Structure 1
Amino acid sequence: MKKTAIILGATGLTGSILLEKLLDDNRYKTIKLFSRKEIDGLPSKVKQFVGDILELEKFKKDFIANEVFCCIGTTAKKTPDKILYKKIDFGIPVTAAKLSKANGIPTFLVVSALGANATSSIFYNKTKGKMEQAVLLEKIEKTHILQPSIIGGKRQEKRIGEKIGLVVFKLLQPLFLGKLKKYRITEAEDIAQTMIVLANSNSTKTILTSDQITKI
């Protein structure tokens, strides 16, 4: 039986690649997108639900699928307000997990970050760590958490400083050996493909760092 997938964050780098892959995947009959604005030019296979996803619980009756792919995430530069930052990076994934549990969705995948740690003194890492804890507490049958390092890929928005940083970081990649491999750049393409592989596997719970994502 063909499946229905939900994507949160389909306009972002990883989410947009994931959407393209699922559109080409015959195992999926319907793809539901929940976002603040509609994406033009998508085929009928895609059903779009537009609204304030900071209030995702309002979409509960439409939040029905076989799998949920949560690619939501912001940056300190884009969202300097820590209260809003937490609402996005913690609030949306956790609400999505709660809705998944309530509506009997058996598979939940979320993009977190390398270094996620609920007890960290670093706000970003602590927020991601607490998000992971809250998601796992929902005890969804198949829960997969991906912890990429710096995410590489072609972004639509222009981030000059970030592009320069990525170039420098790429030059340093050969130095990251052994246990340091997990700090290598994680391509968005690899993250999206790994999410699909995990969703269609028999694995029930995984937490993967960037080196494991790339390996898959």
Structure 2
Amino acid sequence: MSKTAIILGATGLTGSYLLKRLIPDKRYGKIILFSRSATAIRSSKIEEHLIDLFELGRHRDKFKADVVFCCIGTTQNKTPNKEIYRKVDYGIPVTAAKLCAENKIENFLVISALGADPKSRFFYNQTKGEMEKAVLQQEIRNTFIFQPSLIGGERQEKRPLEFISKQLMKAANFVMFGPLKKYQSIHPDSIAKAMQKVAVDGYEKIRIESDEIKKLAKDHD
């Protein structure tokens, strides 16, 4: 029996890779997208809803699936306003998790970040950590939190500071081994592969760090 998947953030960097992977996946018969803007990808499997994601809770009647992939996220450079940043990186994933609980969706996979910690002194890590805590409070049966390091790949919009950071991380990757390996930058397609695999096979841990994501992606090839 084919499954229905929901993707939040399908027009983003990682979400777009995930969408391209789920379309040919015969295990999925329908892919529901909730986005602010339309994706350029076309498929008979796609059911697209263009909405204000800050108002996601108003669409609970359409929020029905077997698995939800939450690929929502921004950066402090792109969204310097802390209130808006929190609405994106905390508000949307937590609302999605609450909808999963309400609609009895038992599989929720969400992208967080390496270093997420509700007690962190850093706003970015603190927000991600608080998001993880709130998501887990929904007690969704199969919840998996992906914690990538800096995500590589080319975005459509230009982010000069992020581009510089990525170039530095590429250079640093060559000296990051052993315990430091998880801090190497990661390609968004690796995250997409890992999410696709874990959605079907599960995983031994709820939180999956960047080096583990890479290993899952490699095993999925």
Structure-2-length-normalised TM-score: 0.94
Deviation at 1:161, TM superposition (A): 3.1
Conservation of the 8 A alpha-carbon contact between 1:150 and 1:185: yes
Q: Distance in 2 between matches of 1:35 and 1:121?
A: 31
SS in 1 for 2:61: helix
* Aligned residues of 1:7 and 1:15 also touching (Cα < 8 A): yes
How far has the Cα of 1:58 moved from its partner? Answer: 0.7
Alignment-derived partner of residue 158 in structure 1: 158
Matched, 1:71 2:71: yes
Residue of structure 2 in register with 1:87 after alignment: 87
**Larger mean Cα displacement after TM superposition, 86-95 or 172-181:** 172-181
Question: What is residue 110 of structure 1 aligned with on the other side?
Answer: 110
> Post-superposition shift, 1:168?
2.2
Shift of 1:98: 0.3
CA deviations over 1:59-109 (Å, ceiling 9, x no partner): 100000000000000111111111111011000000000000110111000
- Can you give the 5+ residue segments of structure 1 that lack an aligned partner in the other structure? none
Offset of residue 172 of structure 1: 1.5
Counterpart in 1 of 2:211? 211
Shift of 1:40: 3.9
1:42-191 aligned at under 5 Å gives the runs: 42-191=42-191
Preserved CA contact (<8 Å) 1:142 1:204:
no
Count of aligned pairs: 216
Q: Which residue of 1 aligns with 2:197?
A: 197
- Following TM superposition, the consecutive aligned residue runs of length 4 or more in structure 1 with deviations greater than 4 angstroms are none
Residues 143, 204 of structure 1: 8 Å contact kept? no
| Conserved 8 A contact 2:5-2:65 | yes
Residue 179 of structure 2 aligns to a residue whose secondary structure is: helix
Larger deviation, residues 86-95 vs 153-162: 153-162
Gaps of 5+ in 2: 217-221
Q: Tell whether 2:25 aligns with 1:17.
A: no
Distance 2:116 2:83 in 1: 18
More divergent stretch after superposition (31-40 vs 159-168): 159-168
User: What is the rounded CA distance, in whole Å, between the counterparts of 1:67 and 1:214 in structure 2?
Assistant: 22
* 2:8–2:15 contact (8 Å) kept in structure 1: yes
> C-alpha offsets along residues 19-71 of structure 1, whole Å, 9 cap, x if unaligned?
00001111100000001122245122100111111011111000000000000
